[in-house]
Structure 1
Amino acid sequence: MSDLDIILEKTVRSYGRRQIQAGHALMIVMERDIPHPIGEVWSALADPEQLRQWVADPEGDLRRGGTYTLPDGSHGTILRCDGPRLLTVSWAREGSSVAEVEFHLTGEDGFTRFELRYASVRKGFAVTAAPGAGLWTGGAGWEYFLDVLEEYLAGTIPDEPQGIRFEIEAEGPLAQLFEARNERWLRTAHDFDQEHIP
């Protein structure tokens, strides 16, 4: 098994549907085991001081029911915050549909099972996009978020917070990984569509 295959196999991918505040939504789900205790993972995700080190500097009323904004224009409301197991936020950017991002954490023997659910009322997700095209796909984009989280938990603090990346450079290892993940998500979407043909 190649190094790329090992990275790809770290994430379990699926599609689903759920009701969110904006309406009936299509949802992508990714699960990954992170080799850190649940308390550490929760703090990296929910503590504003840690978030500003690896994602961005959040501003707003950072509590359940409060609103937040990020420097890239992302904004929303903190819908649920039940540490250290569940965080749900609405999430939108200019020109995009309102979505919800939900993080489920389960601690097991020093590891954390991390489940990320991204649900949007738009009719479909961009499943594949060429690196360098300026496009972002739900699956591969949020997997990159998990990669940066894991790097941060392992002790790598970036010179600049990584933000939530919407563009991938056209060449190099990250572009190769992006394309391979797109292919996995394309297969996952196809399987979901086949199971839900009317």
Structure 2
Amino acid sequence: METYEPSTLADARAEQATDGRWTLVFIRDFPHPPARVWRALTKPADLTEWAPYTADRDLDTLGPATLTMIDGDEHVDIAVEVTQADPEHTLAYSWGTDLLRWDLAPTASGTRLTLRHTVADASWVPQVAAGWHICLDVADRLLEGNPIAPIRGNKARAHGWDSLRDAYATKLDIPTDEAN
């Protein structure tokens, strides 16, 4: 595999919801048009190249789907419900007990992606940020036509996940338990 070095930290913040859950707001600019970024977020053939999961169907329509989390040889199916699919603008779905919302906005040089990933506990936010950071770096390489293999699960630890988790914990002012 070609050498991977994490990009600089993304624009990110943590917000507490009224129900006590926490949302990571993760913003990343891509020098690619919204149509291409949308395809990477919704098409199984693209998702398998960068995401921590594969999808059993296109995610560009409402309704149930199955995302299969991949960690080495371990595969875990998670039922999801696509609740919003506005092509090239917004994709939202449940992911187990988590909620994900991907918003795309055209920019002069490509697309601004804003991911809102809601989790049960604040301690998960830096971990989620580190994971999405690596996945979106891999997605960017795919979009630019210079793909590298997906970096998923425990494999991410060998590619800077721990350092990213700690850096996001500091940036977001959320203590982290290094045993995770």
Where on the TM-score scale, by shorter chain, does this alignment land: which range?
0.7 to 0.9
The percent identity for this pair of structures is 21
- Which residue of the partner structure matches residue 94 of structure 2? 90
User: Offset of 1:51 from its aligned partner?
Assistant: 2.4
- Which residue of the partner structure matches residue 163 of structure 2? 180
C-alpha RMSD of the superposition: 2.8
Matched, 1:166 2:169: no
Matched, 1:47 2:34: no
- Which residue of the partner structure matches residue 22 of structure 2? 26
What are structure 1's unaligned runs of at least 5 residues? 93-97, 128-136, 193-198
User: Offset of 1:52 from its aligned partner?
Assistant: 3.5
Q: Matches of 1:35 and 1:188 in 2, distance apart?
A: 25
SS at match of 2:76: coil
Please identify which structure carries the higher strand content: 2
Larger Rg: 1
Is the 1:15–1:188 contact (alpha carbons within 8 Å) kept by the matching residues of 2? no
Identify the match of residue 73 of structure 1 among 76, 91, 97: 76
Q: Deviations over 1:13-41 (max 9, x none)?
A: 1100236xxx5420111111111111111
Q: Deviations over 1:63-109 (max 9, x none)?
A: 312222325324211121111111111113xxxxx101111110112
Higher relative contact order (CA 8 A, sep 6+): 2
Normalization by structure 1: what TM-score?
Answer: 0.69
- Which residue of the partner structure matches residue 195 of structure 1? none
Q: Matches of 1:185 and 1:46 in 2, distance apart?
A: 26
- Which residue of the partner structure matches residue 59 of structure 1? 56
Q: Matches of 1:61 and 1:111 in 2, distance apart?
A: 23
The letter for the 2-side match of 1:141 is G
